[in-house]
Amino acid sequence: MHRRRLFKGIVVLAFLAVASTAAWASPALDPSVTLVDRNSTLSLDLASDAGMYNWTVDGTNHLNKQWFWYRVGNTGGESPLNTLPLLFVHSVDADFDDGNEYLTAEYGNPNAMTVDLNFTLVGGEAGSHRSDISETITVINHGSQALDLHFFQYCDLDLGGTSTDASAQILDGDRAEQKDEGYTASETVVTPYPSHHQVDFATTILDSLNDGSPTTLTDANGPIGPGNLTWAFQWDFTIAPGDSAIISKDKSIVPEPATMVLLGAGGLALLRRKGHGD
């Protein structure tokens, strides 16, 4: 999987260089995007705070919502990223199979602040129940004053296709881990280290991001569960004029060994019935 990602990364760098020159001449933007790679699909609504709402791996959707909120300054509430103008959207098929694996999108105002999203979907072999998403967010301050930015990622996974998960926790302040239905999902922040984090039951974090008041995540680590579990990371930046801040992170879903034995024995239906009956 790592060799495939490196090869695709080289192709995508070339694509992004071309795409950046055509950004302002792009046709009408389609905010509905689906990425496909091997056993995985990833669906996004870039025009609403539904954001990334479907991560299907070998036929099971493990995701309810992942999206981004931001606040400039220390007063007022946060806003979903999609409240900024959507300037550019493009996806690309770098390995020439059936579907695009890469997405680049840009929000904002080229005279003030822009936020670039780059997503890479790396699926596993059919039946492996493994998948990976790498994400890079770049915020550029085009203004003449320092930008006091507070940036949030919110995530609500439904592992195994159920809203009730077994456990969730934040490890070392920069790694989220969630378990249920024989699956483990994790997200590691590569850079920079988050300013704050929080793991909580739905809909506590989401409500705080939408209540019109400034939010600082509580740094609650967990573990918590079972229940409808969510988590979030927060980055606080002061970005100088003409400068940028880059967030890089990676998330994955893997089955636990016992799950693979059960799946190999034709027991997936039994596993799901057990999960829904709890």
Q: What CATH code is carried by the domain that includes residue 136?
A: 2.70.98
DSSP SS3 for 272 = helix
For 78, phi then psi, to 5°, come to -85, 160
Query: What pLDDT is stored for residue 22 in this prediction?
Result: 40
Q: How far apart are CA 46 and CA 248, in angstroms?
A: 19
Query: What pLDDT is stored for residue 260 in this prediction?
Result: 53
Residue type, 166: A
**Domain encompassing residue 59:** 2-277
Q: Which residues of the chain have pLDDT under 50?
A: 2-3, 6-26, 261, 265-278
Residue type, 269: A
Which residues are CB-contacts of 113 (< 8 A; sequence separation ≥ 6)? 72, 139, 140, 141, 142, 143, 147, 149
For 13, phi then psi, to 5°, come to -60, -40
- Count of domains for the chain: 1
Query: What pLDDT is stored for residue 94 in this prediction?
Result: 81
Q: Give the residue ranges of DSSP H helices in the chain.
A: 2-22, 204-209, 257-264, 268-277
Query: What pLDDT is stored for residue 232 in this prediction?
Result: 98
Query: What pLDDT is stored for residue 259 in this prediction?
Result: 54
Query: What pLDDT is stored for residue 41 in this prediction?
Result: 98
